A and B are shown apart, each in its own frame.
Chain A
Amino acid sequence: MSQLSVRDITVKFGGITALDSASFDVEKGQICGLIGPNGAGKTTLFNVVSRIYDPTEGSVEFEGQDLLALQAHEICEVGAYRTFQNLALWKGLTVLENVMVGAHTTTSAGYWRSMFKVNTKKEESELREKAYGVLAELNLEDVAFHPADGLPFGTLKRIEIARALIGSPKLLMLDEPASGLTHAEVQELGSVIREIRDRYQLTVLLVEHHMKMVMALTEKIVVLNLGRKIAEGTPEEVRENPAVVEAYLGSSK
């Protein structure tokens, strides 16, 4: 059985249908690309899976568990983490603290324990060490004590990946990780994503506009256009699919 299974997802905003009965499966350990022209519904689909939007119809299952029964803050408990296209970092916290919040569900100090430091010292220092380690893996430890603001865009994007990684995800959802990056940074990011997958044994769902990166990186691609799935398959299959070519380049008819 596939790890993530999206079935007949329809999302309507008022009279606009953002997603129309989209279905696809992602296998465990796969890097799956989700592509399509602007307005195709890629980010909407992401928001449904990460429980920010409620779909009008359809179901999402992750390892046999109904994701739609969960709230947004519960999806990381089943192992699904995501990043954001336009960043969702916390500027009032340092980079290290940002990553520490990423492990919120794997730590336990509540309000009262935090206030009176009851049995929190060990957890706190372990968490700090772990967060620093994850930052170091992504070569970010130099900015650990810098506020998560006013750093280069590529660095901030990596910080978001670090924040997701510290929770030991099973499914990592990356929303346009290459947007706003320089050419060199994009290439580097591609190999980082592949290494992360290999090292952490996780599944990657990737929304991306950067075609070269998607084609080189993914094992499976789902193509959306105007809310509908128009193609699915390996990069080679998708590249030659006439419906995809038409959606991207327009038809001559």
Chain B
Amino acid sequence: MFPIVVERGSSKHRTHMMILMAIVLVILIAVAFILPEYQVGRVNRMWAMAIAIMGLNLVLGYGGLFALGHSAFIGLGAFVTAWLVQDLRFDYWMVIPFSMAASFAFGSLLALPALRIKGLYLVVITIAVAVVFPSLAKIETFGIAEKTGGANGRIIDEKVIPTGLGKALGFTETEPARYRYFLIVAMVLVVTFAVRNLLNSRAGRAIIAIRDNETGAAVSGVNLVRQKVFTFGTSAAMCGLSGTILALDKGFVAEQDFLFPLAVEMLVGLVIGGVATLGGAFIGAFVIVFVKEFSKNVNIDFGLFVLDGKGPFSALIFGVILVIVTFFMPRGIVGSLKPTFMQRVYRIDPKAPPLPENLTRLS
């Protein structure tokens, strides 16, 4: 029976994929109705982090560029959202293209140092950006602090009033997270498929080629400057989208939400999930949102001593979980389990294209 082996593109493969998609969709929809409102909010946060981690993965995992300042892109997306919704009265879904565009521009700009600088030096420069960014949000000139809320933060009091279909399905004003959930899931699906398509295409192969051997990529005709700028920009745009989701979900933006530790958290999620794997972003997001939450609820009575996650030990418990996972799965959860899964459970074999009719082999 196992492993199940199918050929890529065969009718069997397609049927399996349809079934899988159907199951995933049912689960995704069910989550919104089964979980209580505050948990749906947390799931939304997980989706937001998954999109952001996927963005980081594009630059770091597939592009091989060690950038560690992606908290700034999330922050920019969130502030643009606050500004557009509060001052210009945008609907929440109309904000998305603008926050993505702003982050794309910012990210492309940051790609410029990455063209010359590599490895640890690029890490330091991107960290600098992440560290400086929250302070920039507090600058009084140009009315920046006014738009971002400065040091006090800013409430986004956007009211979700379900109309039409939303109303018919029974959504109410008191459940904004549940109402937004569907748009967020739709965005997650679009982003995931876009990234997957990208990685299996001419542009994606060029990104990986630059990572594995830059000189080889250049003499094969890959424009290094353009590819790197686009990779950085796309990655930042995904983080901008993530920032919009986070800001709306929390209903509040403040510079202290986008400090450097957020970038580290994303990196932790990426490494735990699996660098350069598509599914890793979701596992990673789950870990940094739910496992972290779980570590706060741990309460083990050792008789003499109670290990209580509510106190300062929550970070310790979370840390121990991370250490154990990385110790047993050094290439991340997805990266480590995938080979075994393909060997034992399910594998898609590539389909060889037809040979040319007038093939003459060289000796």
Contacts and interface: CB of A to CB of B under 8 A. Distances in A.
A36 interface: no
A213 interface: no
A230 interface: no
Interface residues of A, number: 59
A129 B230 CA distance: 28
A89 B198 CA distance: 20
7 contacts: A92-B211, A100-B205, A105-B220, A110-B202, A114-B198, A136-B356, A163-B220
Interface of B: 194-195, 197-198, 201-206, 208-209, 211-213, 215-224, 230, 234, 276, 350, 352-356, 359-363
Given A90-B212, A94-B350, A101-B217, 12 more contacts: A52-B218, A75-B219, A76-B221, A90-B208, A92-B276, A101-B202, A104-B206, A105-B221, A110-B202, A120-B201, A139-B361, A191-B362
Contacts of A127: 202
Nearest to A88: B216
A125 B230 CA distance: 24
A196 interface: yes
Nearest to A132: B353
A128 B9 CA distance: 14
Chain A interface, DSSP helix/strand/loop, else mixed: helix
Contact of A117 (B197, B219, B363): B197
Nearest to A145: B350
A195 B223 contact: no
A72 B218 contact: yes
A93 B361 contact: no
A192 B363 contact: yes
Contacts of B197: 114-117
A124 B359 contact: no
Contacts of A116: 194, 197
A109 B353 contact: no
A52 B218 CA distance: 9
A108 B203 CA distance: 9
Contacts of A72: 215, 218-219
Given A88-B213, A114-B197, A137-B362, A129 B356 contact: yes
B72 to A, nearest CB: 22
A133 B362 CA distance: 12
A89 B216 contact: yes
Contact of A128 (B353, B361, B362): B353
